[in-house]
Structure 1
């Protein structure tokens, strides 16, 4: 079977994402700063007791406030990442972080990673909204072609989150990295630009349909699947 080659003769490199705030109904994403956000994040992630949250992260766990502050600075100051604090609008406090990584503007490719959800953000609509805001910037504002999610293959919650958000699994990179003295096989996921409109519509609809208590009427995965089917049906007409 011959694969159709997409005409990209009009393609031009995209801009790198900036640190301008991204504002939703529940959260606002602002440039991560160690001085501004470490205390909120220390509290949200459980301080010295919150060791499990760092199992699959490149840094941590932390035995004290000074080490934690240095860890947040390490994330915020990396020149190859664009790091954000996820601020709960109602509480006015940072409850998590997420970063753009492995940015390749020449080819329109970027990754979301170093995602940390503290108490009040884990398993919440606010976390879903934060990921929606970051994807909107990549696709809608900057016109990237591909958006990636990668995680340790043993990190089942991260793999489930990627699938729930509409990322497509692309396979396993075996013995990809050595992290904290152990092997890491890396699971790869992606969204590409032609998939994004249905994923965006499904996610926006899911968020709008939550009841006042934040309970879902249908799962996000089901809502995205419905939008994908609807988009595919329109494309065939």
Structure 2
């Protein structure tokens, strides 16, 4: 398809007639089948989260985060108090519906209502959450909130370019890799090159269908093992 041009025959982007700034995300609760997302509450969540993170064998889960590890609950509560008060990033706890306990956190951040751009970040999943259907549902619920309820056009994922598990997760969730931005951050006394990924609104319908098919109870056997992978479902949809 030929690019649109202006009166000077210069190529220009697609028209966005009627575009208006989006709403900022709120301190909302979002119910899922396996999990619930809710705003951080220090008194309700701090002890559960610290206990969940303490299930890890070592501190390697904190290597690529700007925070942690935390020596004790008091130190974690102090961090979480600041996180709970923040509007950008806006932090949420992920609650396991089965246990009623918080097992991880993430945030919506770099919130740009005028351009409809938002990022999921500060993804801090405990061993009780990692590599579970619950973790996938949590990512889907937040993504659905950004696209379907708030109407954002672009949903970003960024990570240290050396963080191979995070890069793999982004691709599994349906983000497209967009490149490496060099020397973007200094954290924990070192330089970070940042890998950028995104899902845009035209990608979302297919990404959403794959999530919903994967999360359906029929996609899991009696032992809880997936029958079809999320990536496989998305690829099958793309093939038609």
TM-score (norm 1): 0.92
Mind listing any 5+ residue stretches in structure 1 that lack a counterpart?
231-237
Change beyond 3 A, Cα 1:229–1:82? farther
Partner of 1:234: none
Displacement of 1:48:
9.2
**What secondary structure is seen at the aligned counterpart in 2 of 1:224?**
helix
Q: Find out whether 1:7 has 2:15 as its counterpart.
A: yes
Q: How does 1:179-198 map to 2 (within 5 A)?
A: 179-198=187-206
**What secondary structure is seen at the aligned counterpart in 2 of 1:199?**
helix
**What secondary structure is seen at the aligned counterpart in 2 of 1:149?**
strand
Q: Which of 220-229 and 202-211 deviates more? A: 220-229
Aligned counterpart for 1:159 among listed residues 157, 163, 167: 167
Query: Which consecutive aligned stretches of 4+ in structure 1 deviate over 4 angstroms post-superposition?
Result: 47-50
Q: Which whole-Å CA distance do the structure 1 matches of 2:18 and 2:197 have between them?
A: 27
Q: How does 1:18-97 map to 2 (within 5 A)?
A: 18-46=26-54, 50-97=58-105
Displacement of 1:2:
5.1
Displacement of 1:50:
4.5
Q: Find out whether 1:133 has 2:133 as its counterpart.
A: no
Change beyond 3 A, Cα 1:198–1:82? same
Displacement of 1:229:
3.4
- Report if the CA contact (8 A) 2:56-2:127 is conserved: no
**What secondary structure is seen at the aligned counterpart in 1 of 2:193?**
strand
Q: Which whole-Å CA distance do the structure 2 matches of 1:212 and 1:136 have between them?
A: 28
Q: Which whole-Å CA distance do the structure 2 matches of 1:146 and 1:13 have between them?
A: 13
Displacement of 1:92:
0.5
- Report if the CA contact (8 A) 1:145-1:193 is conserved: yes
How many residues align? The count is 230
Q: Which whole-Å CA distance do the structure 2 matches of 1:49 and 1:73 have between them?
A: 26
- Taking only aligned residues, the RMSD between alpha carbons, in angstroms, comes to 1.6
Question: What are the superposed Cα offsets for residues 73-128 of structure 1, whole Å, 9 maximum, x if unpaired?
Answer: 23222231221100000000000001000000001000001011112210000000
Mind listing any 5+ residue stretches in structure 2 that lack a counterpart?
5-12
Aligned counterpart for 1:226 among listed residues 208, 211, 236: 236
Partner of 2:181: 173
Instruction: Look at both structures and tell me which one has the larger radius of gyration over its CA atoms.
Output: 2
Change beyond 3 A, Cα 1:49–1:76? farther
**What secondary structure is seen at the aligned counterpart in 2 of 1:178?**
strand
Partner of 1:235: none
Q: Which whole-Å CA distance do the structure 1 matches of 2:87 and 2:159 have between them?
A: 21
